[in-house]
A and B are shown apart, each in its own frame.
Chain A
Amino acid sequence: MATEIITIEKSALLDEVQTLKNKGYRLVTMSSVNFDERFDLLYHFDKELRMKNLRVSLPKGESMPSISGIYLAGFLIENEIKDGFGIDFTGLAIDFGGNLMLEDDVQKYPFCSVGVKKSAKVKKEDA
């Protein structure tokens, strides 16, 4: 099976996902890769045993629109990515607030050596 991944812009993501849902694709999962100055988010879809993959590049510090409005099953994966990498998703259906797998006193996101520190979350709790 050759792996083909199509790169799209962040603004075109929701339209693309809605088109795939109308065509009958189901969501397999999302992956994320950590580079020095950006994250790469991949979305994997499947229909009748053939896969279609999308890639979005996200500079560190920006937030991402959530697809749990279109595919409800995505909320669990997006919460896990938020725990591991610190990417913020706007419009999550059920938001665990970074507590799905990590405790409150974990200082650093596990997958990023150069990344967003948890300072934003600590500030929200102080206020």
Chain B
Amino acid sequence: MSTVIPFGPQHPVLPEPLHLKLTVKDEIVTEALPTIGYVHRGLEWLAQKKDFHQMVQVVERVCGICSCIHAATYCQGIEEMMDIEVPRRAEFLRVIWSEMHRIHSHMLWLGLMADSFGLESLFMQCWKVREQVMDVMEATAGNRVIISVNQVGGVRRDLSDAQLSWIKDVLNNLEKEFLALKSTFGDDYTVRKRTVGVGMLKKSSAYDLGAAGPVLRGSGIAQDMRMTGYGAYKHLDFEPVVEDGCDSWSRTMVRFREVLQSIDLVRQAISRLPEGELTARVKGKPEGEVIVRTEQPRGEVMYYIKASGNKFLDRCRIRTPTFANVPPLLEMLPGADLANVPVIALSIDPCISCTER
């Protein structure tokens, strides 16, 4: 006979509240039903109250971990609607800050994943390495987490040559300390026992259910929004990171290798940084509709912005990657052990404040 167990809104392994109603028979999960709505703040409705310059600050606060990329996507959409050309130096600076955000987000997730199967010191080691990235953000952009460097038309701050060479030193140190963790995540007996074969998502299901980001790339499909070449990515060499295992271990290794790839992208961007202005003049009001897609640490994010000539936008619709990854989670859960549910729920990188805005 089956029992219904709530995988509660409060759980030590989840960074944000998500409720799953699990129907369980003899410790094997047979069905799962999600409930969201615990952190709904109604941010899309604020588009009717704040003008399109102030919306940059609102959109940044949709998610704390990927905030710079939300703001960069929104600014890109408004600039495309109003035909503003962003100076090249500003595009490169945006890429540098976005890739630093990707590094810190993946390191945060690796720490949480280690905590979910009980390896607490590994969790602390990952976060200790991550502190160097937070120091870089505080010294160059002004704040640790929500950095507010993007504005419509360009960026607000510049990086001097002294700061650029300091960033390169920090990255060298970071790479050395991070590679020391590679043998633990890749080959350790405990890690492999808890993640290999757990949370299987077939390649065809991943594509049909609309998965995004490392969930899709961990199942063998090479799709990454940075391949379309928006912003300064068309001037940088870039290949998507793909693994074929379709289980939680593959997703972990995709994110691990993406950190190393991001370090390489920042080094390329610093070496190719052109001179120029920081921002372009913004005149007039936005009119029309535009769809923008970029790549966040968790997947592809899509913005649909509609305006009709006044300073308030008509509609600003945000589709975040975790929203697209919830149906694959419901596909992965049936057939799993009850004790593996935290590992599976964490392997899609849930960011529930993004999901509910």
Chain A residues packing against B (C-beta within 8 Å): 1, 3, 5, 26-29, 31-34, 42, 44, 48-49, 51, 53, 71-73, 75-77, 94, 100-102, 110-111
Besides A53-B291, A101-B36, 11 more A-B contacts (Cβ < 8 Å) are A1-B291, A3-B290, A3-B291, A28-B210, A29-B302, A29-B323, A44-B304, A72-B209, A75-B327, A100-B35, A102-B37
Q: Is B227 positioned at the interface, with any CB of A under 8 Å from its CB?
A: yes
Q: Is B317 positioned at the interface, with any CB of A under 8 Å from its CB?
A: yes
A29 near B290: Cβ-Cβ < 8 Å: no
Cα–Cα, bound, A24→B323 (Å):
21
A49 near B228: Cβ-Cβ < 8 Å: yes
Cα–Cα, bound, A96→B314 (Å):
28
A49 near B223: Cβ-Cβ < 8 Å: yes
Q: Which residues of B170-216 have CB atoms within 8 Å of chain A's CB atoms?
A: 207-210
Q: For residue B211, give the distance in angstroms from its CB to the closest CB of chain A.
A: 9
Cα–Cα, bound, A9→B37 (Å):
33
Question: Mind listing 23 A-B residue pairs with CB under 8 Å?
Answer: A1-B292, A3-B290, A3-B291, A5-B289, A28-B302, A29-B302, A29-B319, A29-B323, A31-B304, A31-B315, A32-B317, A33-B306, A42-B304, A44-B302, A48-B223, A51-B291, A51-B293, A71-B208, A71-B210, A77-B323, A101-B356, A110-B42, A110-B45
Residues of A contacting B225 in the complex (Cβ-Cβ under 8 angstroms): 49
Q: For residue A33, give the distance in angstroms from its CB to the closest CB of chain B.
A: 5
Residues of A contacting B315 in the complex (Cβ-Cβ under 8 angstroms): 31, 33-34
Chain B residues packing against A (C-beta within 8 Å): 33, 35-37, 40, 42, 45, 207-210, 223, 225, 227-228, 230, 289-293, 300, 302, 304, 306, 314-315, 317, 319, 323-324, 326-327, 356
B209 near A73: Cβ-Cβ < 8 Å: yes
CB closest residue in chain A, given B316: A31
Residues of A contacting B289 in the complex (Cβ-Cβ under 8 angstroms): 3, 5
Cα–Cα, bound, A110→B327 (Å):
25
Residues of A contacting B326 in the complex (Cβ-Cβ under 8 angstroms): 76
Q: Is the interface of A mostly helix, strand, loop or mixed?
A: mixed
Q: Given A29-B324, A49-B228, are A73 and B210 neighbors across the interface (CB < 8 Å)?
A: yes
Cα–Cα, bound, A73→B321 (Å):
13
Cα–Cα, bound, A75→B326 (Å):
11
Q: For residue A26, give the distance in angstroms from its CB to the closest CB of chain B.
A: 5
Q: Which of B37, B230, B314, B324 contacts A101 (CB 8 A)?
A: B37
Residues of B contacting A34 in the complex (Cβ-Cβ under 8 angstroms): 315
B228 near A100: Cβ-Cβ < 8 Å: no
A26 near B208: Cβ-Cβ < 8 Å: yes
A111 near B45: Cβ-Cβ < 8 Å: yes
Cα–Cα, bound, A49→B302 (Å):
12
Residues of B contacting A48 in the complex (Cβ-Cβ under 8 angstroms): 223
A31 near B317: Cβ-Cβ < 8 Å: yes
Residues of A contacting B230 in the complex (Cβ-Cβ under 8 angstroms): 1
B327 near A100: Cβ-Cβ < 8 Å: no
A76 near B208: Cβ-Cβ < 8 Å: no
B291 near A49: Cβ-Cβ < 8 Å: no
Residues of B contacting A94 in the complex (Cβ-Cβ under 8 angstroms): 33
Cα–Cα, bound, A32→B264 (Å):
40
Residues of B contacting A32 in the complex (Cβ-Cβ under 8 angstroms): 317
Residues of B contacting A1 in the complex (Cβ-Cβ under 8 angstroms): 228, 230, 291-292
Residues of B contacting A31 in the complex (Cβ-Cβ under 8 angstroms): 304, 315, 317, 319
Q: Which of B37, B40, B314, B327 contacts A33 (CB 8 A)?
A: B314
Residues of A contacting B302 in the complex (Cβ-Cβ under 8 angstroms): 28-29, 44
Which of A28, A34, A48, A102 is packed against the most chain B CB atoms within 10 Å?
A28
Cα–Cα, bound, A111→B37 (Å):
16
